[in-house]
């Protein structure tokens, strides 16, 4: 009799938990989507306002959002290009301008800040604007639960570059001139500016993060709106985390597990990029950032894997009186003043050449296959080339299941993440198929991994608690 009573109590207990979880997952999907679309527009307008030091040029990287029950809302934006606004008033030192035809070096300095702080100033401005969004507008997403978070992630992609004035060279005893307009004088020479991509940012600025993430709990927003806490206290509750390439040893091991495990499954359509980045946030837990390749062929030339994504975007910048070397990674390219007018045209031509090269690569691969008459396959997956949309989505589901298994089997080894936090995989998708999402987000509570580690729940039960969100 006692056993029957115990079983009944346990049944009611777990049934209540299941009902509570089911109720917590219920929300008006249409209303949530509407709130997110409206919030995307607001945040997109706010995030770059009042930036007098930099101009942000966004190319093909709209702000996106997703709601994950139990986790909250994540906004993500990936600025393609951040460029220093060289048209501002500045002081110009002219070195060796004895002859108009001589090559001279002109160094541009900002009037209010040193060169080393200008990019940081722009990032700080973005963070302040996101704080404004949290305080004034984030409560418009009405269905976010009190214990869930609203997060904004600024995640530069691989084509993210920034212009930053380098330290000036030693100045010999020569006349100098000052100017308060963007075009103080016209000289012949070299424009001095630096360009660095995220892949080699360490060369230009060793401490510069790849991006940042800000998060706040919905309950803190409610406390601020109801004046239970003041503005300073609210800002203290907002978590700000820099996104860096370097991870701690435990996170690096997990990155390697994901890379190795997914390479071993041999998915014919999808593969994980090797440039994973992990970031830990006190509100959210562990987030793994990366890219997922979706390709109809596995034919690549080494070093050209991202060629189809390479694009140079050049805005209008007043360079009439500034002579520059342009540094891309470790290479230096010198442009004389006469060349600068045609610089944008040349870059557009370069992009056209890259696109033509891609076509030629595809043709060459096809010719080689024909000549070899199928006796040798050149890393080309013909079965993948002919796969239907339904088959591609089946491959995606298979890939998702492989990721879920890896997270379940190995994520429980991560001790740095607390039991009330989560582990998230946030993967941008480089797609070449219709119907494939632009982003894949996989989330699992650390408590689920801990329960499975203790065998308190079965693997099947744990798998059902790993949530997959496809974002189009």
Q: How far apart are CA 74 and CA 367, in angstroms?
A: 46
* Single pTM value for the model: 0.58
Q: How far apart are CA 95 and CA 177, in angstroms?
A: 10
**Predicted pLDDT at 428:** 84
Q: How far apart are CA 467 and CA 459, in angstroms?
A: 14
Helix axes 389-410, 249-265, angle to 10 degrees: 140
Residue of 442, 448, 446, 445 lying closest to 460 (CA atoms): 448
Residue 399 DSSP symbol: H
Residue of 277, 25, 27 lying closest to 153 (CA atoms): 277
Task: Kindly give the parts of the chain with pLDDT less than 70.
Answer: 1-25, 50-62, 79-120, 156-210, 245, 264-266, 268, 274, 295-348, 351, 358, 362, 365-386, 431-434
Residue of 443, 373, 358, 328 lying closest to 25 (CA atoms): 443
**Predicted pLDDT at 443:** 94
Could you give phi then psi for residue 210, rounded to 5 degrees? -75, -20
Q: How far apart are CA 471 and CA 462, in angstroms?
A: 23
**Predicted pLDDT at 123:** 79
Domain boundaries, the chain: 246-298+387-472
Sequence-distant (6+) residues with CB within 8 A of 45 are none
**Predicted pLDDT at 231:** 95
Q: How far apart are CA 222 and CA 112, in angstroms?
A: 38
Residue of 177, 56, 27, 45 lying closest to 119 (CA atoms): 56
- Residue 337: count of CB within 10 angstroms of its CB: 21
The pair of three-digit structure tokens given for residue 89, joined into one six-digit string: 């008033």
User: Is the distance from CB of 102 to CB of 80 less than 8 angstroms?
Assistant: no
- Residue 353: count of CB within 10 angstroms of its CB: 10
Q: How far apart are CA 309 and CA 363, in angstroms?
A: 19
**Predicted pLDDT at 346:** 65
- Residue 215: count of CB within 10 angstroms of its CB: 22
Phi-psi region of 454 (alpha: psi -120 to 50; beta: other; left: phi over 0): alpha
Q: What angle do CA 408, 411, 414 make, to 5 degrees?
A: 155
**Predicted pLDDT at 243:** 84
Residue of 182, 168, 165 lying closest to 89 (CA atoms): 182
Q: Where are the beta strands (DSSP E) in 132-209?
A: 149-154, 161-164, 177-178, 189-197
Residue of 427, 308, 293, 329 lying closest to 60 (CA atoms): 308
Q: How far apart are CA 34 and CA 165, in angstroms?
A: 43
CATH annotation of 246-298+387-472: 3.30.300
**Predicted pLDDT at 336:** 55
Residue of 314, 315, 291, 84 lying closest to 199 (CA atoms): 291
Helix axes 389-410, 446-453, angle to 10 degrees: 60
Cα dihedral: 73, 147, 218, 407 (round 10): -20
The radius of gyration computed from the CA coordinates of the chain, to the nearest angstrom, equals 27
User: What is the secondary structure of 297-337 as a DSSP string?
Assistant: -----TT-TTGGG----------TT-EEEEEETTEEEE--H
What residue has token string 């540094």? 327
User: What is the secondary structure of 26-61 as a DSSP string?
Assistant: ---HHHHHHHHHHHHHHHHHHTTTT-SSEEEE--S-
Q: How far apart are CA 272 and CA 426, in angstroms?
A: 12
């Amino acid at each position: 009799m006692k056993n029957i009573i115990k079983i009944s109590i346990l049944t009611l207990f777990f049934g209540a938990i299941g009902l509570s979880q089911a109720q917590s997952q219920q929300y008006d999907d249409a209303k949530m989507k509407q709130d997110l679309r409206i919030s995307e527009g607001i945040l997109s307008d706010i995030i770059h306002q009042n930036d007098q030091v930099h101009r942000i040029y966004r190319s093909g990287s709209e702000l996106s959002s997703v709601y994950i029950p139990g986790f909250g809302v994540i906004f993500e934006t990936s600025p393609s290009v951040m460029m220093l606004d060289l048209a501002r008033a500045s002081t110009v030192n002219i070195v060796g301008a004895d002859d108009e035809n001589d090559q001279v070096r002109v160094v541009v300095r900002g009037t209010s800040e040193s060169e080393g702080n200008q990019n940081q100033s722009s990032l700080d401005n973005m963070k302040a604007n996101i704080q404004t969004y949290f305080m004034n507008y984030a409560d418009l997403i009405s269905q976010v639960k009190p214990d869930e978070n609203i997060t904004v992630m600024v995640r530069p992609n691989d084509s993210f570059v920034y212009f930053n004035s380098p330290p000036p060279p030693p100045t010999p005893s020569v006349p100098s001139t000052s100017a308060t307009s963007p075009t103080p004088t016209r000289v012949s020479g070299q424009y001095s500016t630096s360009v660095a991509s995220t892949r080699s940012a360490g060369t230009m600025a060793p401490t510069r993060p790849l991006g940042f993430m800000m998060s706040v709990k919905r309950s803190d927003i409610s406390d601020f709106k109801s004046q239970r806490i003041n503005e300073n206290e609210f800002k203290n509750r907002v978590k700000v985390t820099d996104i860096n390439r370097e991870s701690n040893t435990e996170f690096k091991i997990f990155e390697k597990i994901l890379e190795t495990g997914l390479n071993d499954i041999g998915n014919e359509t999808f593969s994980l990029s090797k440039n994973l980045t992990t970031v830990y946030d006190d509100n959210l837990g562990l987030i793994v950032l990366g890219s997922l390749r979706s390709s109809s062929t596995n034919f690549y030339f080494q070093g050209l894997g991202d060629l189809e994504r390479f694009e140079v975007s050049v805005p209008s910048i007043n360079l009439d009186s500034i002579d520059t070397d342009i540094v891309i990674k470790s290479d230096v390219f010198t442009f004389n003043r006469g060349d600068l007018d045609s610089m944008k045209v040349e870059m557009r031509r370069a992009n056209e050449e890259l696109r033509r090269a891609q076509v030629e690569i595809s043709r060459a691969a096809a010719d080689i296959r024909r000549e070899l008459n199928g006796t040798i396959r050149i890393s080309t997956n013909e079965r993948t080339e002919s796969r239907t949309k339904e088959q591609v989505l089946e491959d995606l589901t298979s890939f998702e299941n492989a990721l879920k298994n890896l997270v379940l089997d190995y994520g429980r080894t991560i001790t740095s993440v607390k039991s009330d936090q989560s582990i998230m995989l946030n993967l941008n998708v480089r797609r070449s198929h219709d119907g494939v999402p632009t982003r894949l987000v996989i989330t699992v509570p650390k408590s689920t991994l801990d329960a499975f580690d203790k065998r308190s729940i079965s693997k099947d039960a744990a798998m059902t608690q790993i949530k997959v969100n496809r974002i189009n």
